Amino acid sequence: MHIALFVRDRLPVRKYGGTQRIAVYLARGLADAGHRVTLIAGEGSHVPEATLVPLTRAQRRDAALDLRPLLPGGVDLLLSYGPLAGSPGIPWIRSLHGNGKPGAARAANTLYLSRNHAERHGGTAFVYNGIDLGEFRFRRDKAGYDLFLGRLHGVKGHRWAIEGARRTGHRLVLAGGWRPSLSRGVRYAGEVGGERKAELLAGAECLWMPALWDEPFGLTLIEAMASGTPVLGTRRGALPEIVTPDVGALGDTVDELVALRAGLARSEPDACRARVERWFSHHVMAEGYVRMFREFLATGRLPPGRTVSERESA
Protein backbone atom coordinates (compact mmCIF):
# COMPACT_ATOMS: atom_id res chain seq x y z
CA MET A 1 0.00 0.00 0.00
CA HIS A 2 0.91 3.64 -0.32
CA ILE A 3 0.13 5.38 2.98
CA ALA A 4 0.31 9.11 3.68
CA LEU A 5 0.87 10.40 7.23
CA PHE A 6 -0.10 13.97 8.08
CA VAL A 7 1.61 15.64 11.05
CA ARG A 8 1.84 19.42 11.34
CA ASP A 9 5.12 19.34 13.28
CA ARG A 10 8.70 18.95 12.13
CA LEU A 11 9.90 15.39 12.68
CA PRO A 12 11.58 13.89 14.55
CA VAL A 13 11.18 15.92 17.73
CA ARG A 14 14.19 16.35 20.00
CA LYS A 15 12.64 15.79 23.42
CA TYR A 16 8.99 15.64 24.46
CA GLY A 17 6.46 14.69 21.82
CA GLY A 18 4.83 11.31 22.12
CA THR A 19 2.46 11.63 19.15
CA GLN A 20 5.26 12.87 16.91
CA ARG A 21 7.56 10.00 17.88
CA ILE A 22 4.81 7.45 17.24
CA ALA A 23 4.36 8.87 13.73
CA VAL A 24 8.08 8.32 13.06
CA TYR A 25 7.99 4.79 14.48
CA LEU A 26 4.94 3.95 12.37
CA ALA A 27 6.64 5.24 9.21
CA ARG A 28 9.60 2.97 9.96
CA GLY A 29 7.41 -0.03 10.67
CA LEU A 30 5.31 0.42 7.53
CA ALA A 31 8.39 0.86 5.35
CA ASP A 32 10.06 -2.21 6.87
CA ALA A 33 6.92 -4.18 5.99
CA GLY A 34 7.26 -3.13 2.34
CA HIS A 35 4.74 -0.31 2.19
CA ARG A 36 5.37 3.09 0.60
CA VAL A 37 5.10 6.01 3.02
CA THR A 38 4.58 9.68 2.22
CA LEU A 39 5.00 12.08 5.15
CA ILE A 40 3.27 15.46 5.05
CA ALA A 41 5.06 17.36 7.82
CA GLY A 42 6.95 20.52 8.66
CA GLU A 43 9.85 21.75 6.57
CA GLY A 44 13.14 20.30 7.77
CA SER A 45 11.62 16.95 8.74
CA HIS A 46 13.93 14.00 8.23
CA VAL A 47 12.42 10.53 8.31
CA PRO A 48 14.48 8.42 5.88
CA GLU A 49 11.79 5.76 5.55
CA ALA A 50 9.29 8.24 4.07
CA THR A 51 9.08 10.66 1.15
CA LEU A 52 8.59 14.13 2.58
CA VAL A 53 6.01 16.64 1.40
CA PRO A 54 7.17 19.71 3.37
CA LEU A 55 4.80 22.18 5.00
CA THR A 56 5.79 25.82 5.31
CA ARG A 57 5.34 27.57 8.63
CA ALA A 58 2.21 29.26 7.28
CA GLN A 59 0.76 25.92 6.15
CA ARG A 60 1.48 24.33 9.52
CA ARG A 61 -0.56 27.07 11.20
CA ASP A 62 -3.42 27.02 8.70
CA ALA A 63 -6.37 25.27 10.34
CA ALA A 64 -8.18 25.28 6.98
CA LEU A 65 -5.28 23.70 5.09
CA ASP A 66 -6.43 21.80 1.99
CA LEU A 67 -4.41 18.61 1.71
CA ARG A 68 -5.62 17.64 -1.74
CA PRO A 69 -2.91 19.55 -3.67
CA LEU A 70 -0.24 18.08 -1.37
CA LEU A 71 -1.12 14.42 -1.82
CA PRO A 72 0.90 12.61 -4.50
CA GLY A 73 -0.85 10.32 -6.93
CA GLY A 74 -1.43 6.74 -5.95
CA VAL A 75 -1.95 7.21 -2.21
CA ASP A 76 -4.32 4.53 -0.95
CA LEU A 77 -5.09 6.03 2.46
CA LEU A 78 -4.28 9.04 4.63
CA LEU A 79 -3.66 8.75 8.38
CA SER A 80 -4.02 12.15 10.01
CA TYR A 81 -2.75 12.99 13.49
CA GLY A 82 -5.13 15.92 13.75
CA PRO A 83 -8.52 17.10 12.49
CA LEU A 84 -8.97 18.05 8.84
CA ALA A 85 -10.88 21.08 7.59
CA GLY A 86 -12.38 19.09 4.72
CA SER A 87 -12.21 15.83 2.87
CA PRO A 88 -8.76 15.01 1.43
CA GLY A 89 -10.44 13.28 -1.51
CA ILE A 90 -9.18 9.82 -0.54
CA PRO A 91 -10.03 7.40 2.29
CA TRP A 92 -8.68 8.74 5.57
CA ILE A 93 -8.46 7.82 9.25
CA ARG A 94 -8.06 10.15 12.23
CA SER A 95 -5.54 8.93 14.81
CA LEU A 96 -6.62 10.34 18.19
CA HIS A 97 -3.87 10.64 20.80
CA GLY A 98 -5.61 12.73 23.45
CA ASN A 99 -8.90 12.65 25.32
CA GLY A 100 -11.99 14.31 23.94
CA LYS A 101 -14.72 15.96 25.94
CA PRO A 102 -16.96 13.46 27.76
CA GLY A 103 -20.00 12.58 25.68
CA ALA A 104 -18.68 14.21 22.50
CA ALA A 105 -19.46 12.18 19.39
CA ARG A 106 -16.50 10.95 17.37
CA ALA A 107 -16.46 10.17 13.66
CA ALA A 108 -16.55 6.51 12.68
CA ASN A 109 -13.09 6.81 11.09
CA THR A 110 -11.43 7.58 14.44
CA LEU A 111 -8.71 5.20 15.58
CA TYR A 112 -7.76 5.02 19.28
CA LEU A 113 -4.74 3.85 21.28
CA SER A 114 -6.24 1.27 23.66
CA ARG A 115 -9.52 -0.46 24.41
CA ASN A 116 -10.15 1.87 27.33
CA HIS A 117 -9.43 4.90 25.14
CA ALA A 118 -11.84 3.66 22.48
CA GLU A 119 -14.64 2.72 24.88
CA ARG A 120 -14.55 6.08 26.63
CA HIS A 121 -15.16 7.75 23.24
CA GLY A 122 -17.83 5.37 22.02
CA GLY A 123 -15.56 3.40 19.68
CA THR A 124 -14.05 -0.06 19.36
CA ALA A 125 -11.11 0.41 16.96
CA PHE A 126 -7.67 0.77 18.52
CA VAL A 127 -4.02 -0.10 17.95
CA TYR A 128 -1.49 -0.04 20.77
CA ASN A 129 1.51 2.22 20.41
CA GLY A 130 4.87 0.68 19.62
CA ILE A 131 8.47 1.86 19.84
CA ASP A 132 11.74 1.19 18.07
CA LEU A 133 13.61 -0.77 20.74
CA GLY A 134 16.89 0.20 19.13
CA GLU A 135 16.50 3.65 20.68
CA PHE A 136 16.46 2.29 24.23
CA ARG A 137 19.13 0.68 26.40
CA PHE A 138 18.45 -2.53 28.26
CA ARG A 139 20.09 -2.89 31.68
CA ARG A 140 19.75 -5.55 34.33
CA ASP A 141 21.87 -3.69 36.88
CA LYS A 142 20.16 -0.55 38.13
CA ALA A 143 21.60 2.68 39.51
CA GLY A 144 19.67 3.02 42.78
CA TYR A 145 16.99 5.59 41.95
CA ASP A 146 13.31 5.69 40.96
CA LEU A 147 12.20 7.74 37.97
CA PHE A 148 9.27 9.94 37.03
CA LEU A 149 9.26 10.91 33.35
CA GLY A 150 6.63 13.11 31.77
CA ARG A 151 4.88 16.45 31.84
CA LEU A 152 4.91 17.90 35.35
CA HIS A 153 1.17 18.44 35.26
CA GLY A 154 -1.12 17.54 38.11
CA VAL A 155 -2.95 14.80 36.18
CA LYS A 156 0.33 12.99 35.53
CA GLY A 157 0.74 12.44 39.28
CA HIS A 158 4.30 13.65 39.85
CA ARG A 159 3.39 14.77 43.37
CA TRP A 160 2.28 11.23 44.18
CA ALA A 161 5.62 9.99 42.88
CA ILE A 162 7.49 12.45 45.10
CA GLU A 163 5.48 11.51 48.17
CA GLY A 164 5.71 7.80 47.43
CA ALA A 165 9.47 7.85 46.91
CA ARG A 166 9.92 9.79 50.14
CA ARG A 167 7.81 7.34 52.12
CA THR A 168 9.59 4.30 50.68
CA GLY A 169 13.03 5.80 51.21
CA HIS A 170 14.04 5.79 47.54
CA ARG A 171 15.82 8.54 45.66
CA LEU A 172 13.67 9.93 42.86
CA VAL A 173 14.77 11.51 39.59
CA LEU A 174 12.08 13.81 38.23
CA ALA A 175 12.33 14.46 34.47
CA GLY A 176 9.85 16.92 33.03
CA GLY A 177 9.25 20.27 31.43
CA TRP A 178 9.57 22.74 34.31
CA ARG A 179 11.20 22.84 37.71
CA PRO A 180 8.86 22.32 40.68
CA SER A 181 9.57 22.88 44.33
CA LEU A 182 11.45 19.79 45.45
CA SER A 183 12.01 17.96 48.69
CA ARG A 184 15.10 16.18 49.92
CA GLY A 185 15.85 13.00 48.00
CA VAL A 186 14.42 14.30 44.72
CA ARG A 187 16.69 15.33 41.85
CA TYR A 188 15.36 17.38 38.96
CA ALA A 189 16.73 16.39 35.54
CA GLY A 190 14.74 18.78 33.37
CA GLU A 191 13.15 17.87 30.06
CA VAL A 192 15.13 15.00 28.58
CA GLY A 193 15.35 13.16 25.28
CA GLY A 194 17.66 11.00 23.22
CA GLU A 195 20.64 9.43 24.98
CA ARG A 196 19.96 11.15 28.31
CA LYS A 197 16.41 9.84 28.41
CA ALA A 198 17.53 6.33 27.45
CA GLU A 199 20.18 6.42 30.19
CA LEU A 200 17.71 7.49 32.88
CA LEU A 201 15.17 4.84 31.88
CA ALA A 202 17.76 2.07 31.85
CA GLY A 203 19.25 2.98 35.22
CA ALA A 204 15.99 3.36 37.15
CA GLU A 205 14.81 0.70 39.58
CA CYS A 206 11.24 1.55 38.66
CA LEU A 207 9.20 4.09 36.72
CA TRP A 208 6.52 5.89 38.71
CA MET A 209 3.41 6.57 36.63
CA PRO A 210 0.69 7.43 39.15
CA ALA A 211 -1.65 8.89 36.53
CA LEU A 212 -4.57 10.86 37.91
CA TRP A 213 -6.36 10.98 34.57
CA ASP A 214 -7.36 8.33 32.04
CA GLU A 215 -4.23 7.77 29.98
CA PRO A 216 -5.04 7.00 26.33
CA PHE A 217 -1.95 4.76 26.30
CA GLY A 218 1.08 5.95 28.29
CA LEU A 219 4.15 5.78 26.06
CA THR A 220 6.65 5.96 28.92
CA LEU A 221 5.28 2.62 30.19
CA ILE A 222 6.72 0.67 27.28
CA GLU A 223 9.83 2.85 27.10
CA ALA A 224 10.63 1.87 30.68
CA MET A 225 9.89 -1.81 30.14
CA ALA A 226 12.04 -1.85 27.01
CA SER A 227 14.85 -0.64 29.27
CA GLY A 228 14.29 -3.51 31.72
CA THR A 229 12.56 -1.21 34.22
CA PRO A 230 9.27 -2.19 35.93
CA VAL A 231 6.36 0.22 36.31
CA LEU A 232 4.49 1.42 39.40
CA GLY A 233 1.27 3.14 38.41
CA THR A 234 -2.42 3.66 38.94
CA ARG A 235 -5.31 1.74 37.39
CA ARG A 236 -6.30 4.66 35.17
CA GLY A 237 -7.01 4.56 31.46
CA ALA A 238 -4.96 2.06 29.48
CA LEU A 239 -2.50 1.16 32.25
CA PRO A 240 -4.19 -2.16 33.21
CA GLU A 241 -3.98 -3.22 29.55
CA ILE A 242 -0.24 -2.54 29.34
CA VAL A 243 1.15 -3.40 32.79
CA THR A 244 0.88 -6.99 34.04
CA PRO A 245 2.01 -8.30 37.46
CA ASP A 246 5.26 -9.68 36.04
CA VAL A 247 6.40 -6.24 34.81
CA GLY A 248 5.01 -3.90 37.47
CA ALA A 249 2.22 -3.14 39.92
CA LEU A 250 -0.88 -0.94 39.91
CA GLY A 251 -2.80 0.66 42.78
CA ASP A 252 -5.44 3.29 43.39
CA THR A 253 -3.92 5.40 46.18
CA VAL A 254 -0.53 6.64 47.32
CA ASP A 255 -0.78 4.22 50.26
CA GLU A 256 -1.28 1.29 47.89
CA LEU A 257 1.63 2.34 45.69
CA VAL A 258 3.90 2.72 48.71
CA ALA A 259 2.95 -0.81 49.83
CA LEU A 260 3.53 -2.21 46.34
CA ARG A 261 6.95 -0.61 45.79
CA ALA A 262 8.94 -3.31 47.61
CA GLY A 263 7.44 -6.08 45.51
CA LEU A 264 8.87 -4.63 42.30
CA ALA A 265 12.18 -6.24 43.18
CA ARG A 266 10.61 -9.48 41.92
CA SER A 267 10.05 -8.04 38.43
CA GLU A 268 12.73 -9.39 36.11
CA PRO A 269 14.28 -6.91 33.65
CA ASP A 270 14.24 -9.61 30.96
CA ALA A 271 10.48 -10.09 31.39
CA CYS A 272 9.93 -6.34 31.00
CA ARG A 273 11.96 -6.24 27.80
CA ALA A 274 10.34 -9.39 26.41
CA ARG A 275 6.82 -7.98 26.85
CA VAL A 276 7.68 -4.95 24.73
CA GLU A 277 9.45 -7.02 22.10
CA ARG A 278 6.41 -9.29 21.77
CA TRP A 279 3.57 -6.78 21.89
CA PHE A 280 4.74 -3.16 21.72
CA SER A 281 7.45 -2.84 19.07
CA HIS A 282 7.02 -0.51 16.09
CA HIS A 283 6.77 -3.55 13.83
CA VAL A 284 3.88 -5.01 15.84
CA MET A 285 2.22 -1.58 15.82
CA ALA A 286 2.60 -1.36 12.03
CA GLU A 287 0.95 -4.78 11.65
CA GLY A 288 -2.01 -3.51 13.65
CA TYR A 289 -2.35 -0.40 11.54
CA VAL A 290 -2.12 -2.37 8.29
CA ARG A 291 -4.97 -4.57 9.52
CA MET A 292 -7.03 -1.44 10.16
CA PHE A 293 -6.11 0.10 6.79
CA ARG A 294 -7.06 -3.00 4.77
CA GLU A 295 -10.40 -3.45 6.51
CA PHE A 296 -11.24 0.23 6.15
CA LEU A 297 -10.39 0.25 2.45
CA ALA A 298 -12.43 -2.91 1.87
CA THR A 299 -15.53 -2.05 3.92
CA GLY A 300 -15.38 1.63 4.90
CA ARG A 301 -15.38 0.58 8.56
CA LEU A 302 -12.66 0.11 11.16
CA PRO A 303 -12.62 -3.31 12.85
CA PRO A 304 -12.47 -3.70 16.64
CA GLY A 305 -9.02 -3.64 18.17
CA ARG A 306 -7.44 -6.60 19.92
CA THR A 307 -6.04 -6.54 23.44
CA VAL A 308 -2.84 -8.39 24.30
CA SER A 309 -4.81 -11.15 26.05
CA GLU A 310 -7.03 -11.60 23.00
CA ARG A 311 -4.01 -11.87 20.71
CA GLU A 312 -2.36 -14.34 23.09
CA SER A 313 -5.40 -16.62 22.97
CA ALA A 314 -5.90 -16.32 19.19
223-236 pLDDT tens trace: 999 999 999 999 99
Element (H, E) at 265: none
Sorting pLDDT into bands at 50, 70 and 90, what band is 212? very high
- pLDDT, tens only, 275-300: 999 999 999 999 999 999 999 999 99
Note the pLDDT of residue 248: 98
- Residue 131's CB is within 10 A of a number of other CB atoms, namely 20
pTM of the model: 0.94
Check whether 173 has a pLDDT greater than 90. Answer: yes
- pLDDT, tens only, 22-81: 999 999 999 999 999 999 999 999 999 999 999 999 999 999 999 999 999 999 999 999
Question: Span 262-282, mean pLDDT?
Answer: 97
Determine the number of helices (DSSP H) and then strands (DSSP E) in the chain.
11, 12
Check whether 183 has a pLDDT greater than 70. Answer: no
**Per-residue DSSP letters for the chain?**
-EEEEE-SS-SS-SSS-HHHHHHHHHHHHHHHTT-EEEEEEETT---TTSEEEEE-HHHHH-TT---GGGSPTT--EEEESS--SS--SS-EEEE--S---TT----TTEEBSSHHHHHHTT---B----B-GGGS---SS--SEEEEES---GGGTHHHHHHHHHHHT--EEEESSS-----TTEEE--S--HHHHHHHHHHEEEEEE--SS--S--HHHHHHHHTT--EEEES-TTHHHH--TTTEEEESSHHHHHHHHGGGGGS-HHHHHHHHHHHSBHHHHHHHHHHHHHHHHHHSSPPPP--HHHHHH-
Note the pLDDT of residue 16: 73
Contacts (Cβ under 8 Å, ≥6 apart) of 201: 136, 137, 147, 149, 207, 223, 224, 226, 227, 229
Note the pLDDT of residue 176: 83
Sorting pLDDT into bands at 50, 70 and 90, what band is 144? very high
Beta strands in 21-171, from DSSP E residues, in sequence order: 36-42, 51-55, 77-80, 92-95, 110-111, 145-149
As to burial, measured by CB atoms within 10 angstroms (0-12 exposed, 13-18 middle, 19+ buried), residue 88 is: buried
Query: Domain-by-domain residue ranges, the chain?
Result: 2-131+282-313, 133-278
At 200, is the secondary structure helix, strand, or coil? helix
Check whether 137 has a pLDDT greater than 90. Answer: yes
CATH number of 2-131+282-313: 3.40.50.2000
| Percent of the chain whose pLDDT exceeds 70 | 98
Note the pLDDT of residue 101: 85
CA 215 distance to own-chain centroid = 10
Note the pLDDT of residue 190: 79
Note the pLDDT of residue 180: 64
Sorting pLDDT into bands at 50, 70 and 90, what band is 182? low
Average predicted confidence (pLDDT) for the chain: 94
Check whether 17 has a pLDDT greater than 90. Answer: no
Note the pLDDT of residue 152: 82
Fold that domain 133-278 belongs to in CATH: Rossmann fold (3.40.50)
